[in-house]
């Protein structure tokens, strides 16, 4: 939708939600929303999910090239060495209310990293490297720590012998995960690592453009990701599926939801007019998990909802997005629903940092304009006269 600002022919056009308005130039990621194609730095995401690891993909996103063996080994080792968080951060997290949402806990803890690490040497490549390492390393530790703390337990330390994804699942569940579960979880992180100028990445770039520190950049992006129209939808999908209850209830439920003009969670995307390629892969990953660890009846319900929604919403280009099947994968991995969005944040930290670095490379502070719709020339009135 394009709305003319004023009657004047020369007035700027206002596009709600900045739909279709380029707000940056970027070489990080490309989306073909008609074909359902997603590439990171020119590599197809399905190929990366099948062949790469999350840390290798993070390196690719942030530095623009796949690492060679030495670069990858060094990056992995640096990340492994910086996984622990200060006892002060753990103590701070212990004072958070246990019923608070883990996304709020993550936003506060991510911001707190800025208190501990030196700030704003933004023209120093070593500072950039160490900030990237710290954020990629510590965000999962903080997500897992809050999970244990809110259950009344002390967080457990990361295990140096476990790779990134397996270590996160270990810190969360206190059990070494099955290798297939860890591999599928790592693929989920790859699929969520980047997605061009979505709301949280835009938020990260706006924050980055002020030349503040990278911990503030990630904290602002975490807050933006939390909303139900963005990353928060993955949690809401499972709540929705559980509320529908059974496959035979899907069609009457959908009829009611459409009649009431409700948004169906996990459906629709500003960029895709076909099924999100990440949803296609996540669905396959969910099926692999069900084959190995047992079926989930909510999956039958989800497929019925996808079929019914394709009839009703498909003509408008509304199909499952990344959030539709990810929750079923995480549920099978035994992860609580309110951690789905923090897990999204663990992955998307790679994309946010790639955009942070790119923004610094050609920075100009974001300062868009507005179309003023308020009053003018009003005289102040004393309170007794109002
Ligand atoms: N269910 C039903 N109808 C929908 C849905 C949906 N999920 N999404 C869009 N529509 C309809 C709208 O009602 C509107 O119809 P109309 O033209 O008849 O009024 C039309 O499609 C366009 O919708 P907008 O909200 O204008 O689309 P926009 O591009 O602004 O929003 C968004 C995209 C926010 C993702 C939207 O599809 C939505 O709210 N989806 C549900 C929440 C969700 O799953 N979010 C996760 C997105 S992926 C991510 O961020 C990680």
Q: Which residue has the tokens 């923004």?
A: 359
**Predicted TM-score (pTM) of this structure:** 0.95
Question: Is 234 a pocket residue for ligand 1 (Cβ < 6 Å)?
Answer: no
Q: What is the 3-state secondary structure (H, E, C) of the chain?
A: CCEECCCCCCCCEECHHHCCCCCCCCCCEEEECCCCEEEECCEEHHHHHHHCCHHHHHHHHHHCCCCCHHHHHHHHHHHHHCCCCCHHHHHHHHCCCCCCCHHHHHHHHHHHHHHHCCCCCCCCHHHHHHHHHHHHHHHHHHHHHHHHHHCCCCCCCCCCCCCHHHHHHHHHHCCCCCHHHHHHHHHHHHHCCCCCCCHHHHHHHHHHCCCCCHHHHHHHHHHHHCCCCCCCHHHHHHHHHHHHCCHHHHHHHHHHHHHCCCCCCCECCCCCCCCCHHHHHHHHHHHHHHHHHCCCHHHHHHHHHHHHHHHHHHHHCCCECCHHHHHHHHHHCCCCHHHHHHHHHHHHHHHHHHHHHHHHHCCCCCCCCCCCCCCCCCCCCCHHHC
Ligand 1 pocket test target in 263, 282, 344 with most atoms within 8 Å of CB:
263
pLDDT, residue 278, reads 97
Residues of the chain with pLDDT under 70: 1-11
Q: Identify whether 323 is a catalytic site residue.
A: yes
Calculate how far, in angstroms, residue 255's C-alpha sits from the geometric centre of ligand 1. 17
pLDDT, residue 119, reads 72
Distance of alpha carbon 99 from its chain centroid, rounded?
22
Q: Identify whether 101 is a catalytic site residue.
A: no
For the CA of 231, the closest atom of ligand 1 is: 51
Ligand 1 pocket test target in 192, 259, 268, 312 with most atoms within 8 Å of CB:
268
Residue nearest to atom 41 of ligand 1 (CA): 265
Q: Give the CA distances from residue 316 to residues 191, 279, 320, in Å, rounded to whole numbers and listed in that order.
A: 25, 18, 13
Question: Is 151 a pocket residue for ligand 1 (Cβ < 6 Å)?
Answer: no
Question: Is 305 a pocket residue for ligand 1 (Cβ < 6 Å)?
Answer: no
Question: Is 351 a pocket residue for ligand 1 (Cβ < 6 Å)?
Answer: no
User: Could you tell me the domains of the chain?
Assistant: 29-227+338-361 (1.10.580.10), 233-332 (1.10.230.10)
Q: Which residues pair with 37 in a beta bridge?
A: 32
Question: Is 263 a pocket residue for ligand 1 (Cβ < 6 Å)?
Answer: yes
């Amino acid at each position: 939708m394009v709305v003319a600002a004023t009657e004047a022919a020369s007035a700027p056009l206002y596009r709600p939600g900045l739909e279709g308005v380029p707000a940056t130039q970027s070489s990080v990621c490309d989306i073909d929303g008609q074909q359902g194609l997603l590439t990171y730095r020119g590599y197809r995401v399905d190929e990366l999910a099948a062949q790469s690891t999350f840390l290798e993909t993070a390196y690719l996103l942030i530095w623009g090239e796949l690492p060679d063996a030495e670069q990858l080994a060094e990056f992995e080792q640096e990340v492994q060495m910086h996984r622990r968080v200060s006892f002060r951060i753990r103590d701070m997290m212990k004072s958070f209310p246990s019923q608070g949402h883990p996304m709020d806990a993550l936003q506060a803890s991510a911001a707190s990293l800025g208190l501990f690490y030196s700030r704003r040497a933004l023209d120093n490549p070593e500072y950039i490297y160490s900030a990237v390492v710290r954020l990629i390393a510590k965000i999962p530790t903080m997500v897992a720590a809050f999970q244990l703390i809110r259950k009344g337990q002390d967080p457990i330390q990361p295990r140096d012998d476990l790779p990134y994804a397996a270590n996160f699942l270990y810190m969360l569940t206190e059990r070494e995960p099955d290798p297939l579960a860890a591999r599928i979880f790592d693929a989920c992180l790859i699929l969520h690592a980047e997605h061009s100028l979505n709301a949280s990445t835009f938020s990260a770039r706006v924050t980055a453009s002020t030349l503040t520190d990278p911990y503030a950049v990630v904290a602002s992006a975490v807050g933006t990701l939390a909303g139900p129209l963005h990353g928060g939808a993955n949690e809401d999908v499972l709540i929705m599926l559980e509320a529908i209850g059974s496959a035979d209830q899907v069609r009457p439920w959908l009829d009611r939801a459409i009649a009431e003009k409700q948004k169906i969670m996990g459906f629709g995307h500003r960029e895709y007019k076909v099924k999100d390629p990440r949803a296609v892969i996540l669905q396959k990953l969910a099926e692999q998990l069900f084959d190995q660890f047992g079926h989930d009846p909510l999956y039958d319900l989800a497929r019925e909802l996808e079929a019914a929604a394709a009839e009703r919403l498909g003509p408008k280009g509304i199909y499952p997005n990344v959030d539709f099947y990810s929750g079923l994968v995480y549920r099978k991995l035994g992860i609580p629903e309110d951690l789905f969005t923090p897990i999204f944040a663990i992955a998307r930290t790679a994309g946010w940092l790639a955009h942070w670095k790119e923004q610094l490379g050609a920075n100009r502070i974001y300062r868009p304009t507005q179309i003023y719709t308020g009053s003018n020339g009003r005289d102040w009135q004393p309170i007794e006269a109002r």
